[in-house]
Amino acid sequence: MASADITPAQPKGATGLLLLADGTALWGHGFGHIGSAVGEVCFNTAMTGYQEVMTDPSYAAQIVTFTFPHIGNVGSNAEDIESRVEAAVGCIVRENVTPDSNFRSKQLFDEWMRENGKIGLSGIDTRALTRYIRLNGAPNAVIAHEPHGQFDLPALLKRAQDWAGLEGMDLAGRVSRKKQEDWEGGWWSLGKGYGRASRQANPHVVAIDYGSKDNIFRNLVKAGARVTVVPAKTSLEDILALQPDGVFLSNGPGDPAATGEYAVPVIKALLERDVPLFGICLGHQMLALAAGAKTIKMHQGHRGANHPVQRVGGGWGDSEGLVEITSMNHGFAVDGETLPEGVEQTHVSLFDGTNCGISIKDKKAFGVQYHPEASPGPQDSFYLFEKFVGMLG
């Protein structure tokens, strides 16, 4: 029930609102889509790539607070979209969206947000909101935009309080593609379209789509694979019928334990058949669950393009101890204390020591919690795609 008091009161001229489930109201200026949406509020520390963030399916049912104040100043374009399925429902920014200033821009960010059904809120003290999340955890909330400033506050508060949250929620099945497809694509405007570079003679990777990003597939193809993408709930029999040289487990949103109910049995069976496996983010968590580990909900999660990760195991030789600066987006993590015998921790976060990579002994199977494809972010970890494809020869 909506029993909490809503504070502070609406100031004059406010057309946008973030209403937390505890009744805290953050008022500002709405932009983009007109309406309201419920989700978990998180923060992202990346200084670039806001369009890629807003179209990453791993952000499904989430409201992204950008800590970088100037969002929207390079506009938007069709190529920086990571996926055309459900992703972030809205974003919160410090400064008002300004006119675009970039040679690749085809549309104002405000217009793009409106056309894609995403709600924006500007004029918010994003530093204070980020501190709130760090201290209290990621809250459930409603983001709303109404140009005349007319909000049904009791109804919005009830909606925020009634939302169950991400824990226990399987979102991967909701954002996954619905049919199998051979992936082809590239950076066409930059003259790097890969087209049919994925020839029949190349190693065949079947990618299970739990909420994938396009740049993952670009990097698999660039590393020398041909890629067939299949829906999240594809059966073991249908995967094996494609005669894969290896199977890729994609990123995605929601609680890994919930997605694991249908994903883990398939991955276990692939491990038993010694099929090479590579998992990213949610795919990494699925691999860990299949190997016998557990996952946990994080207090605030990791989201940004500046996360240091150290190599700590897995036979790195002279490069053990090396630190990679990585892109991350996850609110759940593999519990490193639960890794069973035969599963080695290969990477850890230098921010909080959480697990960021595993390798399964005597198997060609590994996973990383971060996003080696970047988009946005650093390119320190591109080598992982070559490592995986190199296993398939």
Spatial contact of 305 and 327, defined as CB atoms under 8 Å apart: yes
Q: Which of 52, 82, 324, 373 is catalytic?
A: 373
What's the CA gap between 298 and 281, in Å, rounded?
A: 14
Nearest to 333 by CA among 285, 389, 269: 285
- DSSP code for 371: B
Residue 91 bears catalytic tag: no
At 309, list the tokens: 């990760």
Catalytic residue among 42, 91, 281, 356: 281
Alpha helices, DSSP H, located in the chain: 50-54, 109-115, 126-136, 153-162, 172-175, 214-222, 236-241, 256-272, 282-291, 383-390
Q: What DSSP designation does 59 have? A: G
**What contacts 100, CB < 8 A, 6 or more positions away?**
72, 73, 74, 75, 76, 107, 108, 109
296: number of Cβ within 10 Å: 16
- How wide is the angle at C-alpha 103 spanned by C-alphas 100 and 109, nearest 5°? 30
Reference 146, options 62, 32, 293; nearest CA is 32
Burial class (CB in 10 A: 0-12, 13-18, 19+), 254: buried
Catalytic, out of 29, 145, 330, 371:
371
Report helix, strand or coil for 85.
Answer: coil
Instruction: Reply yes or no on whether 146 is catalytic.
Output: no
The question of whether 281 is a catalytic residue gets the answer: yes
Catalytic residue numbers? 281, 371, 373
